[in-house]
Amino acid sequence: MNCDRTGRDYLIDAAATKSTAFTREERDSMGLRGLLPHAVATMDTQVDRVLENMRRKSSDIEKYIFLTALQDRNERLFYRLVSEHIEEIMPLIYTPTVGQACREFAHIFRRPRGFYVTPEDRGSIRRILDNWPEDEVKVIVVTDGERILGLGDLGANGMGIPIGKLALYTACAGIHPSQCLPVMLDVGTNNQALRKDPLYLGYPHERIEGNEYLSLVDEFIEAARDRFPDVLIQFEDFLTPNAYGLLNRYRNDILCFNDDIQGTAAVALAGVHSASRATGKPLRDMRIMFLGAGSAATGIGDLMCEAMKGEGLSDMLARQQLWFVDKDGLVVAGRDDLMEHNLPYAHKFAPMDFLTALDAIHPDVLIGATGAPGTFTKAVVQKMASFNDQPVIFALSNPTSKAECTAEQAYDWSDGRALFSSGSPFAPICRNGKIHRPGQGNNAYIFPGIGLGALAARASRLPEEIFLVAARTLAALVTEKDLEDGALYPPLTDIRNVSRQIAINVAECAVRLGISDLTDEEAADIPARVASLMYEPRY
């Protein structure tokens, strides 16, 4: 105990406070008598009080603000609440509510959280990183705010994404809050409405680009790794060219990954593994069509290609099972408007629109990653159902307002036969007396466990095999009862166990691949090592 601290210091320290749960003895020894009401509350009572007050709020954004305030004043209580009520709380602190929170970030701003880098900090990033009060940062989530969910360029308002992701690292995988650092590379915004908003808090200029942009990112990466040598860096919500460019720039040299490309890929692959069990059709035999050909969709395709190769297909045959449609129609050879990451999937095939392509290719699985709501129309779902007994439909775009279709639409238009998953949550649907529980293909099933496993293994990098292992682990945790209910993912209530299992398998994979610097003794009991790293939010 620090004798220089006053009772009030303990009360306002978010990491240390227990508020009304301080015991009589603690109140005496810490100078808290008279500063608290008489009753000594239990943590369970505090959780009940928080829930009661949160549920009084009339809108989800008000609940988000309320929960953010709780995180700022009592960290352990916040994470206990999230962990024990994940199904109710996760949609409020992350998607879909975080989309609105990012749009309104400057207007609902209460208290600084995270670290900001602007072009004006060039040459000084390493020095100013010393201003961050924690020395043992293990996970950084960084964005430049250019492609926030399906909402586009939100500039510095995009800080809500790293904050939300890191809250899930703690709640879902037990990474200690002090080891988490949200970072905004505030390189400007091309959103003129934001720049004109008098309350906007970001760098009020057009985005820097090209070498000027890359050199700033390079300086940040170098500074972060010098300040926090073992840190895992997660790239989040970068525009497709930068998402791929930065991943390819760093992936072979440092511990990093891009969640939109690789995390989304792993969670989608897990869902398709589960669908394979439900339909009885092996993954290698499935034809998969993507509506959308950006970083998320292509990342899923790349990982699925690797998974199919693991089932015996050649690279060429695996890619022939994967088809992409963008705003200009089917991605085919001969188009002169394709980006580099699209070229491996540009098949020798006639140009055609989306509906015509469905008729021509008869996919078993349809995956939406468009950010364009309503693109899985009644005609699309009915066509999928016309040649599939159980059409597999993933409407992955976030937030909910951007979903390609709703769960109810997918079930209604397929006569209740669809295996449906979405990026944001949908409530269970009762149709003709049967309850359908739509699975949520949320990256929260994947990235916390991968991060925990990477830290447990002290991994040096994260090759594709890591994401294949994570996807297989997640799919294996789906029970037969889940599949009977139409759910391709485990219930969110099991998320900490999911993260633990993924972490164990990821760490063991890292050891096998020779990308871990654990000693033989440390590597002898990976499950115990993972468990020892998991923070429990209790007093």
Domain 112-254 top-level CATH class = alpha beta
Domains of the chain by residue range: 1-41, 112-254, 262-444
Alpha-carbon gap, residue 201 to 191, rounded angstroms: 13
Alpha-carbon gap, residue 368 to 422, rounded angstroms: 9
Inter-residue contact 485 to 438 (CB < 8 Å): no
Active site residue 138: no
Of the candidates 63, 165, 383, 402, the residue annotated as catalytic is: 165
Alpha-carbon gap, residue 95 to 91, rounded angstroms: 5
Nearest to 171 by CA among 464, 441, 442: 442
Active site residue 281: no
Name, in order, each residue with C-beta under 8 angstroms of 288's C-beta and a sequence gap of 6 or more. 272, 301, 304, 321, 322, 323, 363, 364, 365, 366, 367
Q: What is the pLDDT of residues 230-279, one digit of tens each?
A: 999 999 999 999 999 999 999 999 999 999 999 999 999 999 999 999 99
Q: State whether the Cα torsion 234-339-302-278 is positive or negative.
A: positive
User: With the CA atoms of 207, 211, 216 and 222 taken in that order, what torsion angle do they form, in degrees rounded to the nearest 10?
Assistant: 150
Q: What is the pLDDT of residues 128-169, one digit of tens each?
A: 999 999 999 999 999 999 999 989 999 999 999 999 999 999
Of the candidates 10, 64, 79, 94, the residue annotated as catalytic is: 94
Inter-residue contact 237 to 145 (CB < 8 Å): yes
**DSSP state for residue 403 in the 8-state scheme:** -
CA distances (Å), 313 to each of 180, 196, 262, 283, 287, in order? 40, 53, 21, 10, 13
Q: Assign domain 1-41 to its CATH architecture.
A: Up-down Bundle (1.20)
Alpha-carbon gap, residue 246 to 260, rounded angstroms: 12
Let me know if the fold of 112-254 is the same as that of 262-444. yes
CA distances (Å), 187 to each of 103, 146, 217, 396, 524, in order? 17, 9, 10, 28, 45
Q: Quick one: fold of 262-444?
A: Rossmann fold (3.40.50)
C-beta pairs of 67-71 under 8 Å, 24+ apart in sequence: 67/92, 67/93, 68/93, 68/110, 69/110, 71/14, 71/167
Alpha-carbon gap, residue 144 to 166, rounded angstroms: 16
Residue-wise pLDDT tens for the chain (539 aa)?
555 899 999 999 999 999 999 999 999 999 999 999 999 999 999 999 999 999 999 999 999 999 999 999 999 999 999 999 999 999 999 999 999 999 999 999 999 999 999 999 999 999 999 999 999 999 999 999 999 998 999 999 999 999 999 999 999 999 999 999 999 999 999 999 999 999 999 999 999 999 999 999 999 999 999 999 999 999 999 999 999 999 999 999 999 999 999 999 999 999 999 999 999 999 999 999 999 999 899 999 999 999 999 999 999 999 999 999 999 999 999 899 999 999 999 999 999 999 999 999 999 999 999 989 999 999 999 999 999 999 999 999 988 889 999 999 999 999 999 999 999 899 999 988 889 999 899 999 999 999 999 999 999 999 999 999 999 999 999 999 999 999 999 999 999 999 999 999 999 999 999 999 999 999 999 999 999 999 999 99
DSSP alpha helices (H): ranges in 147-263? 160-173, 192-196, 210-227, 240-250
User: Which amino acid belongs to residue 355?
Assistant: L
Q: State whether the Cα torsion 262-251-218-167 is positive or negative.
A: positive
Token pair, residue 362, equals 């008869």
